[in-house]
Structure 1
Amino acid sequence: MSFPIKTYFHKKQLIFLFLNCTFSIFMHGQITNIDANELANWDLHGIGSVSYDKNEKAVKLTESKESLGAMLVSPTSYSENLVVTFKVKPLQHEGVCVILLGLNDLDGGDVTIPKNYNGDFNFWKSEKSTARSHAFAFHTAFHQPNAFIKENPGFINIGLQKDVVTEEKWYNIEVGKINSRFWMKVNGKTVIDTLSNKKQRIFNKSKIALRVRGPGDGTFSALYKDLVIKENLNYKNIYACNFNESKDLEDWILEGPGKVKLKKDRLLIHSKYQKFIHKKWKKGRITINSTNSNYYPVLRKKMISDLKINPSDYSYEGSFSGGPVVLWNKTKTPENYEITFNFKSLSPHSLHMIIFSALGLNGESIFSSDLAKRNGTAPKYTKGDISNYRISYFAPIRKTANLRKSPGRKMLDSGIDFASQSPKELHRIRVQKWKNNIVFTINDKQVLNYSDDEKALGAGYFGLRLMVPAIGTYDNFNLYELKNGPF
């Protein structure tokens, strides 16, 4: 079915000629599917036109001559926390595509777009603007090489990464917002995933808009179709941190001889003896690998000299294993939860770990004075008086990520360690726990999917553990309560 071209200079209310929007309630929330016919009936603002492309079965949004942009605004308001997916095909090189979420006035009401609006984006981004929005931009090479997420008014940067929408072909786009977390994916791969430094003011409902901006000569247009809006999501944010203030460290407790500090808005963690061991390794005096490292005798002497330690406090059954560090977060997780964060290794050596669902054997907080003191050595966490799951990753020699359960250090599952395949890259880590099911992903690639049928652990605390040779940065931590099963 064709849809006739209609050109507008100002806001035009359209009658819904096609009502093919479907609603359904899933365990993940409310899903709204908007086909091309209904999308063509969104409110057009700026100088441009909207039409239906019969061959592509898509809406064509075009910027007209002397335009400063054209946009389609949803007539319906949606939840503030949501995920939007759609397909887009830019039709010319010289033009930028934008999707705006959270369109409101500053008090949470419907934004009033002026009559005779010419599409000028300054209406949204000016610091004096009374309109509020979050802009996700891609296919930006006409202006500059980066995709971005900006917060308005003020055009405040939230995230900026190299744009991958560089051709005039179909792309699958996903953008999302959950409280202060914002992300953009292209063809299933994460381009931006970050936290806003600004405390978010959450309103119940807000609108969505699609925007095109070209050279203003009427040559730029883009096709859109298969738009899906997911609301009432399966997530309740419990803890979020992006490590841009020193007070963020107050949420964490260090165990073992470690160093923790903020570096370029990231959390830097390593053992006090990481550099010492690395220098010994470079000189060929020790070996470092996941199965046969021989640095502990050298490290034992160094720690006795530096810290005046009793070696037995860092030993198990006569074997010294001191030097690793554990950094606990003070927030207790619910029984069902998801943990996400960004990670980057600054060393070629392993090993990094995340510990989760950790409690005393009698259900105590891991910070209870009734529990034995811990100092980073493995037996304190695997054969002591606390229970936990632990996933180890970034193991370049072993090349696997391993899931273990303690006490007992029982191996539960193993999978491909995608982090060590790209050792110098930033990686997005995700741990999901729903009842007895655990899923671990790296860069949205599933590594582990395990069901613990032997007294699965529930709520507890989570932390990071690093072996002595390891050093890395962490940021963009999020802890979510899962309201329904994500699997």
Structure 2
Amino acid sequence: MTDEERFAIGDLIYRNPLASEDDVRDFRMEGEAAVSFPLGRMRLENKLDPGLGQQSNFVYWCPIDFPENIAVTWEFRPLREPGLCILFFAAKGKGGEDLFDDRLTARTGVYGQYHHGDIHAYHVSYFRRKETEERGFHTCNLRKSYGFHLAAQGADPIPSVSDAVPPYRMKLVKCGPEILFAINGLTIFHWIDDGRRYGEVLGGGKIGFRQMAPLIAEYADLNVYDVTKIRDTGDDR
């Protein structure tokens, strides 16, 4: 049994083609970014000068609170680098508040607000092409917040923009303490949160797309499914 086969994908609980402004009318932007749909796909790019550093980055949140056991799939197309992409998930206030609760400190896309602010979340960073070491050795990272805990890491199979053949089909599974990330059916990492080393296992919450300037990328066909764990019989035939 492969890692992906250990999880049963159930009912579709949310679908968004990300094809027009109407599809994202309830999404929440933190930071400043241009959102357009020139080819019927959601294109995200920074508005502010990358020279401003973290101030030029942004997060675009889906408004839905999802349960703790989900599989998230989407199509990804990198158009311009450098930069990197992140998917936040299971995001809530540290006290269980809704992510957009007015009692939480306002967030503006600056990274520290998300890992050392007043929210809890997991996030997977992929297509990491910002720093020199990221461009020279491509990885996907899973981190857990509060804190900047590197929980898991795997090789990133997506080439640089000049060699990319999109769309790339991204898949994130969060089932109880288990988190799996795959690209085009290839498992990048599969991590089990023990609920002790980095704090208690996170439950449900919101998902959001983050980009670092000056990267430009497109996203499409966002789907969220119920997911359950399949009992492992030990037979891997």
Q: Given the two structures, how large is their TM-score scaled by the length of structure 1?
A: 0.42
Q: Name stretches of at least 5 consecutive residues in structure 2 with no aligned partner.
A: 1-5, 130-134, 233-237
Contact 2:20–2:41 under 8 Å retained in 1: no
Q: How does 1:189-228 map to 2 (within 5 A)?
A: none
Contact 2:82–2:213 under 8 Å retained in 1: no
2:174 maps to a residue whose letter is K
1:437 maps to a residue whose letter is E
Cα gap change, 1:470 to 1:424, in 2 (>3 Å): farther
Q: How does 1:469-484 map to 2 (within 5 A)?
A: 469-482=214-227, 484=228
**Cα drift, residue 424 of structure 1:** 4.7
Contact 1:346–1:424 under 8 Å retained in 2: no
2:166 maps to a residue whose letter is E
Contact 1:360–1:385 under 8 Å retained in 2: yes
Structure 1 residue 330 and structure 2 residue 63: aligned? yes
Structure 1 residue 235 and structure 2 residue 235: aligned? no
2:164 maps to a residue whose letter is P
**Cα drift, residue 246 of structure 1:** 2.5
Task: Point out which structure has higher relative CO (alpha carbons under 8 A, 6+ apart).
Answer: 2
1:476 maps to a residue whose letter is D
CA distance in 1, matches of 2:205, 2:183: 22
Contact 1:335–1:434 under 8 Å retained in 2: yes
Contact 2:28–2:63 under 8 Å retained in 1: yes
Structure 1 residue 402 and structure 2 residue 141: aligned? yes
Contact 2:181–2:189 under 8 Å retained in 1: yes
CA distance in 2, matches of 1:418, 1:407: 28
CA distance in 2, matches of 1:460, 1:260: 23
**Cα drift, residue 440 of structure 1:** 0.1
Q: Look up the match of 1:260.
A: 35
1:459 maps to a residue whose letter is G
CA distance in 1, matches of 2:192, 2:146: 18
**Cα drift, residue 425 of structure 1:** 2.6
Contact 2:12–2:226 under 8 Å retained in 1: yes
RMSD of Structure 2 on Structure 1 (CA) = 2.0
Q: How does 1:69-80 map to 2 (within 5 A)?
A: none
Q: 2:80 pairs with 347, 353, 356, which one?
A: 347
CA distance in 2, matches of 1:432, 1:468: 27
**Cα drift, residue 238 of structure 1:** 1.4
Q: Look up the match of 2:132.
A: none
Q: Look up the match of 1:247.
A: 22
Q: 1:448 pairs with 180, 189, 197, which one?
A: 189
Identity percentage of aligned residues? 29
CA distance in 1, matches of 2:169, 2:72: 11
**Cα drift, residue 402 of structure 1:** 0.4
CA distance in 2, matches of 1:460, 1:420: 31
Q: Name stretches of at least 5 consecutive residues in structure 1 with no aligned partner.
A: 1-26, 29-232, 278-298, 301-319
Q: Look up the match of 1:467.
A: 212
Q: 1:382 pairs with 99, 110, 115, which one?
A: 115
Structure 1 residue 485 and structure 2 residue 229: aligned? yes
Contact 1:345–1:424 under 8 Å retained in 2: no
2:176 maps to a residue whose letter is K
Question: C-alpha offsets along residues 199-222 of structure 1, whole Å, 9 cap, x if unaligned?
Answer: xxxxxxxxxxxxxxxxxxxxxxxx
CA distance in 1, matches of 2:180, 2:26: 25
CA distance in 1, matches of 2:57, 2:11: 33
**Cα drift, residue 249 of structure 1:** 1.4
- For the residue of structure 2 that corresponds to 1:381, the secondary structure is helix
